[in-house]
């Protein structure tokens, strides 16, 4: 029996189900050696003889079976983890894949923990902590906008900003130290003023990134849109039309919808979560009453409300619904436009027909614009992760404190402020993050990633 090498890890990197191909990955100092003991090409070559990054066809000798598979070696440091990595592509059967992994473990590798390959990449300086988080965001993305935001993180847009800011802080601090060491009045005055200006510029850069958090969170969570109105105006028909799916029951009977019906769809790659609600009106029906209360509640938490009517003139019931909207962002939707004459949209009144689809394109365009207004959606970097938002906010605050203290306080105190800013920025890159937080972040990754 081989002695376990705790530094060489292995895991199945593809979903464990039947498919065309599965990938089993191994990383660590002994990975090529272990691969040599199980894989051989027809001409007798073993992985240690393979050219790096060249896919080779061969035979994998598992404990209980043989499998024709592909094998590729990535030699350190040019691999995902920065260590020697060997990947096997085998036929995508659950038992085959498990058998290959079991063989690698039997031959000396250790089962990787979730996210351990990526953690290794972080430890070896292959990526910053926020880059790794961006990759996870991409994997979990439910819309194109989320993929784009994740990609920007992964590509280092945020980590570069944090690294640059840290470097600037170190520079400023060292200049200040010199001036405090030689407190010749004019030099000190010039240095302090110069430092103040640089700190103000630095804070502007950080605050600009912070401002993208509203857009970032909207991208991550989607835009919540509640469809409300009195019974029978066509709310469920509108939900179905926007989703392109007969999700909600539609009937000519008032009070058809009782519970909240949810569905998501995308506009320009941005996810919108729709909530169809029970028609709001006075009712003695116990079930409907609960539905009406739920509808009233959802108004409070929605980002945008579609207030649906089916006539231009308002009835008392319409007015009661309208009164619930208060200052909530909303659009007035006049549905059943196929039965109306002279339908001309205004700023916040849109005519649509859930029945024949007229006006729906206009509605989606308006929804998108409303969601994006005041959100700094320039494209590029957007932050959504609360950890990043907290860290940047603290960095900005500490820089503020340093600016306020620079004229009146000693270098020791300013150094504390600047160190706090440095340390907060390091939580993004990972260079000052505690082991517990790092472990917690990677444990949310998938096994084999
Ligand atoms: N002509 C016309 N009829 C529509 C339109 N939209 C919905 N309807 C009809 O209006 C009736 C009510 O539609 P629903 O979508 O169930 O209305 P609702 O607002 O969800 O009703 P409740 O769930 O009872 O509150 C149905 O008979 C639909 O076919 C439309 O654009 N034009
Ligand atoms: Mg309905």
Find the helix packing angle between 129-140 and 411-429, rounded to 10°: 40
Ligand nearest to the backbone CA of 255: 1
Distance (Å, whole) CA 216 – CA 198? 27
| Residue 307 and residue 198 share a domain | no
* Span of 25-29, 175-179, 426-430 with lowest mean pLDDT: 175-179
| Residue 61 and residue 17 share a domain | yes
| Residue 386 and residue 366 share a domain | no
Asked if residue 181 lies in contact with residue 342, where contact means CB atoms within 8 angstroms, the answer is: no
Atom of ligand 1 nearest to the CA of 279: 25
| Closest C-alpha residue for ligand 1 atom 7 | 234
Judged by DSSP in three states, 425 sits in: helix
Which residue out of 234, 282, 307, 339 has the highest number of ligand 1 atoms within 8 Å of its CB and is therefore the one to mutate? 234
Q: What is the side-by-side order of every strand in the sheet holding 270-276? A: 261-267, 270-276, 223-229, 304-309, 330-334, 349-351
| Closest C-alpha residue for ligand 1 atom 17 | 234
- Domain limits for position 81: 9-112
Residue that is last in its domain, among 322, 341, 372: 372
Which token pair is 258?
């009782």
Ligand 2 centroid distance, CA of 317 (Å)? 16
Q: What is the side-by-side order of every strand in the sheet holding 21-27? A: 39-40, 56-61, 66-74, 85-91, 21-27, 9-12, 110-111
Distance (Å, whole) CA 24 – CA 448? 8
CATH number at residue 87: 3.30.1360.120
Ligand nearest to the backbone CA of 231: 1
Residue 312: what pLDDT? Answer: 87
Task: Evaluate whether residue 101 is within a structural domain.
Answer: yes
Task: Evaluate whether residue 2 is within a structural domain.
Answer: no
Segment 408-434 mean pLDDT: 92
Atom of ligand 1 nearest to the CA of 249: 16
Q: Is the peptide bond before 77 cis (omega within 30 degrees of 0)?
A: yes
| Residue 398 and residue 330 share a domain | no
| Residue 252 and residue 196 share a domain | no
pLDDT digits (tens, 9 = 90+) for 354-403: 999 999 999 999 999 999 988 877 678 999 999 999 999 999 999 999 99
Distance (Å, whole) CA 37 – CA 48? 10
Per-residue DSSP letters for 140-157?
H--SHHHHHHHHHHHTTH
Atom of ligand 1 nearest to the CA of 250: 16
| Residue 332 and residue 292 share a domain | yes
Task: Evaluate whether residue 118 is within a structural domain.
Answer: no
| Closest C-alpha residue for ligand 1 atom 16 | 250
| Residue 267 and residue 330 share a domain | yes
Q: b/e for 238-269, b at 16 or more Cβ within 10 A?
A: bbbbbbeeebbebeeeebbbbebbebebebee
Ligand nearest to the backbone CA of 310: 1
| Closest C-alpha residue for ligand 1 atom 6 | 234
pLDDT at 60 over 70: yes
CATH number at residue 268: 3.40.50.300
| Closest C-alpha residue for ligand 1 atom 30 | 336
Domain count, the chain: 3
Task: Evaluate whether residue 125 is within a structural domain.
Answer: no
| Residue 435 and residue 348 share a domain | no
Ligand 2 centroid distance, CA of 232 (Å)? 7
> 239: left (phi > 0), else alpha (psi -120 to 50), else beta?
alpha
pLDDT digits (tens, 9 = 90+) for 107-147: 999 999 999 999 999 999 999 999 999 999 999 999 999 99
| Residue 190 and residue 171 share a domain | yes
Task: Evaluate whether residue 313 is within a structural domain.
Answer: yes
| Closest C-alpha residue for ligand 1 atom 32 | 336
Task: Evaluate whether residue 338 is within a structural domain.
Answer: yes
Ligand 1 centroid distance, CA of 180 (Å)? 75
Atom of ligand 1 nearest to the CA of 278: 25
Distance (Å, whole) CA 54 – CA 49? 11
Atom of ligand 1 nearest to the CA of 354: 31
Residue 36: what pLDDT? Answer: 98
Per-residue DSSP letters for 59-74?
EEE-SS-EEEEEEEEE
Atom of ligand 1 nearest to the CA of 252: 27
Count of Cβ atoms closer than 10 Å to residue 124 Cβ: 15
CATH number at residue 432: 1.20.120.430
Atom of ligand 1 nearest to the CA of 232: 21
Which residue out of 228, 236, 237 has the highest number of ligand 1 atoms within 8 Å of its CB and is therefore the one to mutate? 237
Residue 3: what pLDDT? Answer: 47
Ligand 2 centroid distance, CA of 141 (Å)? 30
**pTM of the complete model:** 0.82
| Closest C-alpha residue for ligand 1 atom 13 | 234
| Closest C-alpha residue for ligand 1 atom 12 | 232
Task: Evaluate whether residue 4 is within a structural domain.
Answer: no
| Residue 229 and residue 183 share a domain | no
Task: Evaluate whether residue 68 is within a structural domain.
Answer: yes
pLDDT at 187 over 70: no
| Residue 71 and residue 38 share a domain | yes
pLDDT digits (tens, 9 = 90+) for 385-397: 999 999 999 999 9
Ligand 1 centroid distance, CA of 298 (Å)? 21
Ligand 1 centroid distance, CA of 263 (Å)? 18
Find the helix packing angle between 185-211 and 386-405, rounded to 10°: 160
Residue 47: what pLDDT? Answer: 98
pLDDT digits (tens, 9 = 90+) for 254-298: 999 999 999 999 999 999 999 999 999 999 999 999 999 999 999
Segment 162-186 mean pLDDT: 85
Per-residue DSSP letters for 244-295?
TS--S---SSTT---S-EEEEEEETTEEEEEEE-PPPS----HHHHHHHHHH
> Ligand 1 pocket: which residues have CB below 6 Å?
231-237, 250-252, 254-257, 279, 335-336, 338-339, 353-355
Ligand 1 centroid distance, CA of 242 (Å)? 14
| Residue 366 and residue 239 share a domain | yes
Count of Cβ atoms closer than 10 Å to residue 329 Cβ: 14
Atom of ligand 1 nearest to the CA of 352: 31
Q: Which residues pair with 60 in a beta bridge?
A: 39, 67
pLDDT band at 1 (very low <50, low <70, confident <90, very high): very low
Asked if residue 331 lies in contact with residue 304, where contact means CB atoms within 8 angstroms, the answer is: yes
Ligand nearest to the backbone CA of 256: 1
Ligand 1 centroid distance, CA of 38 (Å)? 65
């Amino acid at each position: 029996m081989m002695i376990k090498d705790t530094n060489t890890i292995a895991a199945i990197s593809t979903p464990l189900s039947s498919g065309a191909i599965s990938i089993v990955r191994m990383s660590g100092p002994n990975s090529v050696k272990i691969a040599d003991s199980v894989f051989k090409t027809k001409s007798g070559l073993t992985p240690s003889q393979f050219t790096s990054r060249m896919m080779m066809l061969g035979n994998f000798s598992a404990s209980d079976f043989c499998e024709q598979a592909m094998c590729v070696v990535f030699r350190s440091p040019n691999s995902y983890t920065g260590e020697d990595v060997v990947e096997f592509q085998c036929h995508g059967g659950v038992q085959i894949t498990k058998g290959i992994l079991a063989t690698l473990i039997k031959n000396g590798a250790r089962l990787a923990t979730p996210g351990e390959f990526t953690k290794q990449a972080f430890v070896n300086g292959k990526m910053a902590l926020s880059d790794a988080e961006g990759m996870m965001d991409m994997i979990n993305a439910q819309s194109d906008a989320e993929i784009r935001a994740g990609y920007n993180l992964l590509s280092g847009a945020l980590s570069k900003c944090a690294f640059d800011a840290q470097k600037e802080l170190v520079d400023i601090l060292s200049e200040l130290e010199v001036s405090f060491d030689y407190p010749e009045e004019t030099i000190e005055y010039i240095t302090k003023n110069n430092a103040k200006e640089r700190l103000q510029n630095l804070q502007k850069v950080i605050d600009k990134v912070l401002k993208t958090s509203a857009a970032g969170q909207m991208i991550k969570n989607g835009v919540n849109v509640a469809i409300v109105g009195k019974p029978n105006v066509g709310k469920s028909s509108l939900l179905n039309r926007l989703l392109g799916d007969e999700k909600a029951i539609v009937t000519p009977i008032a009070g058809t919808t009782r519970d909240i019906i949810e569905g998501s769809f995308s506009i320009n790659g941005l996810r919108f979560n729709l909530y169809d609600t029970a028609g709001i009106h006075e009712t003695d029906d116990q079930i409907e009453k609960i539905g009406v209360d739920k509808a009233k509640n959802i108004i409070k938490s929605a980002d945008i409300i579609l207030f649906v009517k089916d006539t231009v003139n308002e009835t008392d019931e319409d007015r009661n619904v309208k009164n619930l909207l208060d200052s909530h962002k909303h659009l007035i939707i006049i549905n059943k436009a196929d039965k109306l004459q002279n339908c001309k949209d205004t700023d916040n009144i849109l005519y649509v027909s859930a029945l024949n689809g007229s006006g729906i394109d206009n509605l989606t365009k308006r929804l998108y614009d409303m969601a994006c207004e005041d959100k700094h959606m320039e494209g590029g970097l957007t932050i959504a992760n609360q950890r990043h938002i907290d860290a940047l906010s603290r960095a900005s605050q500490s820089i503020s404190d340093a600016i306020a203290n620079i004229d009146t306080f000693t270098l020791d105190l300013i150094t504390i402020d600047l160190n706090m800013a440095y340390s907060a920025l390091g939580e993004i890159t990972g260079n000052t993050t505690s082991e517990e937080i790092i472990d917690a972040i990677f444990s949310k990754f998938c096994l084999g990633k």
